[in-house]
């Protein structure tokens, strides 16, 4: 049974905790996961992230569905909006034997996402508990620490700058991409430097998790770059 079947989070937990008491809107949507391809990655109509910034309530609309994509060359790719969902998909892929526990995590992002979560209390071998933990405890900035704490990965390489994008990656790795690496805030790094490096990393990874991060980058731009990264013909 697929746990991601489309649901609202209405309590102040997970990503819904941000500015909860001050917000007008009190719920966020977690989209359904479907098996498909890049044609299925489309802008959605539900609020998936809600925050107050400088006294203004910002309601971020994400993608219509999360998409599991299996490429012709055998890669498993998960595409979703808020980045904490990476944690669940890592555990799912690990359980399916798609990568070896203790390999490297390569995290390409505008942000480090290494905040400490409220707790590390999750049974990583129980996907029901992983699902609970991902959606009720973790948020967009706290999903990497528990993966390291539970020794899912032995090394973390964060690529969030011109210098770090050049870092060499050896051996097996899981690739984690936040498309906000292409936001305006990151334009001080030439687009080609970011794009070419990510394409190179995609070639070497069997498991790839990708966040469209609607609070941090316009979704139409994120989707466009996503399709270009995978050499998808945009009509």
Q: Is 3 contained in some domain?
A: no
In this prediction, residue 55 carries a pLDDT of 85
Give the residue numbers spanning the domain of 73: 66-229
Does 52 map to a domain?
A: no
Tally: H helices and E strands in the chain: 5, 10
Q: Tell me whether residue 211 is in a domain.
A: yes
- CATH number for position 137: 3.40.800.10
Across 128-157, b (16+ Cβ under 10 Å) vs e yields: eebbbbbbebbbbbbbbbbbeebebbeebb
Residue 5 lies in a domain: no
Q: pLDDT for 93-129, tens place per residue?
A: 999 999 999 999 999 999 999 999 999 999 999 999 9
Query: Within a domain: residue 43?
Result: no
Number of domains in the chain: 1
Burial of residue 235 (number of CB atoms within 10 Å: 0-12, 13-18, 19+) = exposed
Query: For residue 146, what are the CA distances in angstroms to 120, 121, 124, 206, 214?
Result: 6, 9, 10, 22, 23
26 belongs to a structural domain:
no
Please check whether residue 180 lies inside any domain of the structure. Answer: yes
Residue 207 in any domain: the answer is yes
Span 196-208, pLDDT tens digits: 999 999 999 999 9
């Amino acid at each position: 049974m697929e746990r991601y079947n489309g649901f609202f989070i209405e309590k102040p937990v997970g990503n819904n905790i941000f500015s909860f008491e001050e917000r007008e809107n009190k719920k966020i949507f977690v989209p359904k996961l479907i098996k498909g391809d890049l044609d299925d990655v489309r802008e959605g109509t539900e609020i998936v992230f809600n925050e107050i910034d400088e006294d203004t309530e910002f309601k971020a609309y994400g993608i219509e569905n999360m998409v599991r994509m299996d490429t012709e060359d055998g890669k498993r790719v998960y595409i979703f909006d808020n980045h904490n969902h990476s944690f669940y998909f890592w555990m799912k892929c690990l359980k399916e034997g798609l990568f070896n526990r203790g390999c490297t995590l390569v995290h390409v992002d505008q942000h480090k996402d290494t905040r400490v979560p409220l707790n590390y209390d999750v049974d990583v071998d129980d996907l029901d508990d992983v699902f609970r933990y991902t959606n009720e405890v973790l948020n967009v900035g706290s999903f990497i620490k528990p993966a390291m704490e539970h020794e899912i990965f032995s090394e973390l390489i964060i690529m969030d700058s011109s210098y770090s994008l050049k870092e060499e990656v050896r051996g097996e790795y899981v690739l984690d991409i936040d498309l906000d690496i292409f936001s305006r805030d990151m334009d001080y790094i030439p687009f080609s430097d970011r794009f070419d490096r990510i394409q190179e990393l995609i070639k070497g990874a069997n498991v790839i998790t990708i966040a469209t991060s609607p609070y941090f980058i316009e979704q139409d731009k994120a989707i466009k770059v996503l399709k270009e990264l995978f050499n998808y013909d945009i009509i």
